[in-house]
Structure 1
């Protein structure tokens, strides 16, 4: 250690001795297109491998290069992973936003920054660590083409040294990222090691924040929801996908492209047992899966709001002709183009009634990556059982960001192909009528193209039809068909995933939420409980609602409905379903494009219940 560092060590504040262990929100502020992803993933993977509960959120702009991008790492010893509004640690690498980024730092926060940046005098309540990024890079002399990328590895080394992130875990994280490519690993580790050494010799720790090895992530995985959903569809027997690129739905299809070649090959021939097509637009994509679903394939597409809008007519066709398909809608902020790289739950009502006329669509709403995987395979079973389109409504926060999970439970039960008649089945019956309700549940029987029997064939049409699938404009045929479809929708309730309910003895207040807001709600309920507030919580996982939702609503004096959209769309839907309880339901909406925080939920409830969060 040099003399200057030794002198500084003597003057280290008492605050540095009061450790805050494994509990902070760290924001890495860079420029979009500067290659920071490798560095960010190295840090978060290292923390995860050290057993620290974490989540990672990438807030990126909708352009390709030049605008600000932020990577947020939430570490919490109690396992809370929602976005935290307060920022304790800032890695400020963007000169254009540096002053603004500092405004979000808490008193006593920490800032790592390139030493050529000017620090505003107003933030004398922050611990600053200037880093000679350019000099470290110059000394290490990486390949000229990689200089900009290597700059990001400087903060990995410095931050690891100052917080206590194990360098060995950084190496393992890079080995994962580069898939064992030794040259790339060593090149990055050269910068990391040099930067850590510089920090060790030149910086004295004056802040409170440290990380220490824990065992809370042992046996767990870290993944984004889109990849989890893609894996689920593979284990659900997907055979056909057509899609058109759109943020944030594209990465689900891309995960299928990456994983299908190794997971879905014919065991005998070695050939691929699937087809995947990037269509010319969203209309073509859904048209292809409607055709594939009619032919008996397990078919799906992935999209987001603008793409779903284009799919509306053919979604209505699939509903009316009763063709099983799966549509993943990874929601983003609308209307129109909106904020393509920000999260929202703004497509609830649009999806519920997607298609003109009296259309009722079925929705599955995952709240974590385990459910993304589960609903990936389960959606096909439900689609074929009900002979209907199934919409899986995720969102950008759940779909594109990193979450912890226990390993997925793989489906053990056989695939449910629903009411499909074989040639042998047709031989035993007097007449096959495609749209006849034989069992009284609204679900007819179907045949698949190629079934070798004279009774098997029928005409598929989106126009009016009778039980035999023949064209009809008779009012009684139309009414009978629509009443049967309504009955099928009621039958669907029995196949929906039940809600998750968290109960507290003596609670008189309820809270309903769904999807990716679940981590924020759970953390908020813990804060509210600490203030003596007893609230029961129900997380909706599907529409149509199951009996448990109605029972929950009838149970409490009032119920808060928390969601990420402007007008309270789930709140509206619940009021439609239980009009006699409508006055009990209180809408709490958050819709600024950022993931919901526990602080926001806590303050929103306290504002109406009385009290003060103080955090």
Structure 2
């Protein structure tokens, strides 16, 4: 019996790879296994190689695995591209239609199953994904009833006849491969899971759910990979809570609509990726100048320009911190898990209103679209904070205006909603005085700039840095952000076996940078290695600029569109030179 296993399915885009993965993982989730999935897909609607990889475990996991146990292939290309991941003794379940062959040098057991033929015998080749699923499920020796239940849920809306045909497809695939293999494979039999069904979702869904829990009732957005699922999730859910989603003509319209709605008092968000964020920059400056709360989700992908829209990257950090013209206060938060995506979204809405600033929630494609198990969210932790939102404004004398931008000790001014009696004030994107009237007075300019910029002094979110530091003076301090955390932890376990002592910090508050919190750990480490999916070491540059220790810091960079594997980090940390050179995977 084994405690974990990796399964992958590959084929052409539009060939049923995604639905196969969905049903397969849903059934495993029902049994109580922990899962971590990653999609490698083309930026085309149909055609181009795509694969989905699922890691299955009896214990919590937060990274894709280096190796592979079972590969399900709809074409030879899937075998040629992915067979190198198969561990010694791994299995390939392939469609006999294309006469599959195992590449030279790969020691794997091949099961050629007439997947397409069986599906066509049942009426349509579309059911070949169910034949393939049944074949690979059977090799694991797991109860077929659980899988059939997942099939019913997937196809139930299409009627009983369709459900029965798909279940028959599963059965035929299972029976064929079991006859070839002589029964389930002992080496792939998983230990029993705890039986407790986990939440199983992508980061974008957790963000969508978090926005609802935060009281968001309007989303204005334009579709873009890999952010679209947030909008798609809220289209289905938000109306049930009295809210709505508006698909705007572009990202400029989306962000300005969000600013207007937030000014009116409705918690509103928008979500995009790098190209869309670029279009929003002028409006983000408007939110900063008018001190209007604003929440933006930026799901990073490969750039620049259209770049690699369906591939992993973490290269928007500088754009989020520095992108706007002029100088405004803003907050940039980087969740590192599915649970973070949920709770950090709620925190983003609170921070936006407490400090009256734009808040950017920074994710990456792996975290946004990788489907993962997590424990049910503790809703008792949810707190809604609306900051200095004033009601029952005292009567003003004569033609006096409300001091919407009043100079206060903490830099945060009282805020009123439109229509509040006594709350009349100007709102403008030009520099203004305490009532919002335009002003070019030099003293006023200094006061207003200082007021805005100082409001975030010593501001720290919950777990601004997430620390695992068992060693007082580690040989290496490994620092990452976003989706790299689980991968770093697995690499550290491998390094520990080699006697290399490491500490690990995930930086979750990107801006304002948590310098004071990070300093003690930088001081105690002999070497600092910063892991990030970009070509220029943007996170490392932030650390050097804000905290120093440039002589200790080395970068491990990966920017080929793929996420880090545990072995990438393990090998690099073990072999990294001491001359300070930037390394890349």
Shorter-chain-normalised TM-score: which range?
A: over 0.9
Q: Residue 124 of structure 1: CA displacement?
A: 6.3
Distance 1:525 1:510, change over 3 A: same
Unaligned runs of 5+ in 1: 1-18, 265-272, 611-615
Partner of 1:350: 319
Q: Is the 8 A contact 2:288 2:330 kept in 1?
A: yes
Distance 1:427 1:494, change over 3 A: farther
Determine if the alignment matches structure 1 residue 386 to structure 2 residue 362. Answer: no
Name the CA distance, whole Å, in 2 between partners of 1:100 and 1:538: 34
Determine if the alignment matches structure 1 residue 132 to structure 2 residue 114. Answer: yes
Partner of 2:583: none
Q: Residue 119 of structure 1: CA displacement?
A: 1.3
- Between 591-600 and 226-235, report the one with greater CA deviation: 591-600
Q: Output one character per residue of 1:300-357: Cα deviation in whole Å (capped at 9) or x when no partner.
A: 1010000000001001110111100100011111111010111111111110122111
Q: Residue 445 of structure 1: CA displacement?
A: 1.4
* TM-score of the superposed pair, with normalisation by structure 1: 0.88
Partner of 1:518: 485
Name the SS for the 2:216 alignment partner: coil
Name the CA distance, whole Å, in 1 between partners of 2:261 and 2:129: 46
- Between 56-65 and 414-423, report the one with greater CA deviation: 414-423
Q: Output one character per residue of 1:105-126: Cα deviation in whole Å (capped at 9) or x when no partner.
A: 3432211111232415725622
Number of corresponding residues: 572
Q: Residue 179 of structure 1: CA displacement?
A: 5.5
Q: Residue 128 of structure 1: CA displacement?
A: 0.9
Q: Residue 160 of structure 1: CA displacement?
A: 1.4
Q: Is the 8 A contact 1:345 1:565 kept in 2?
A: yes
Name the CA distance, whole Å, in 2 between partners of 1:291 and 1:485: 20
Partner of 1:313: 282
- Between 47-56 and 339-348, report the one with greater CA deviation: 47-56
Q: Residue 490 of structure 1: CA displacement?
A: 1.3
Partner of 1:211: 189
Distance 1:279 1:540, change over 3 A: same
Partner of 1:11: none
Root mean square deviation of aligned Cα: 2.3
Name the CA distance, whole Å, in 1 between partners of 2:372 and 2:210: 16
Q: Is the 8 A contact 1:43 1:170 kept in 2?
A: yes
Name the CA distance, whole Å, in 2 between partners of 1:106 and 1:188: 31
Distance 1:303 1:213, change over 3 A: same
Q: Output one character per residue of 1:156-212: Cα deviation in whole Å (capped at 9) or x when no partner.
A: 111111222321121122233346754433221110012212223333369664133
Partner of 2:65: 84
Q: Is the 8 A contact 1:235 1:411 kept in 2?
A: no
Q: Output one character per residue of 1:535-579: Cα deviation in whole Å (capped at 9) or x when no partner.
A: 111111113233322332233233211111111111111112113
Q: Residue 358 of structure 1: CA displacement?
A: 2.0
Partner of 2:139: 162
Name the CA distance, whole Å, in 2 between partners of 1:221 and 1:361: 32
Name the CA distance, whole Å, in 1 between partners of 2:204 and 2:566: 24
Q: Is the 8 A contact 1:368 1:516 kept in 2?
A: yes
Determine if the alignment matches structure 1 residue 41 to structure 2 residue 43. Answer: no
Select which of 483, 490, 493 maps to 2:457: 490
Partner of 1:55: 36
Q: Is the 8 A contact 1:80 1:519 kept in 2?
A: yes
* TM-score of the superposed pair, with normalisation by structure 2: 0.92
Partner of 1:479: 446
Name the CA distance, whole Å, in 1 between partners of 2:338 and 2:219: 21
Name the CA distance, whole Å, in 1 between partners of 2:193 and 2:453: 51
Name the CA distance, whole Å, in 2 between partners of 1:244 and 1:170: 36
Partner of 1:240: 218
Q: Output one character per residue of 1:586-605: Cα deviation in whole Å (capped at 9) or x when no partner.
A: 22212221121111111111
Determine if the alignment matches structure 1 residue 176 to structure 2 residue 153. Answer: yes
Q: Is the 8 A contact 2:20 2:129 kept in 1?
A: yes
Partner of 1:267: none
1:184-223 map, 5 Å: 184-204=162-182, 209-216=187-194, 218-223=196-201
Partner of 2:292: 323
Name the SS for the 2:110 alignment partner: strand
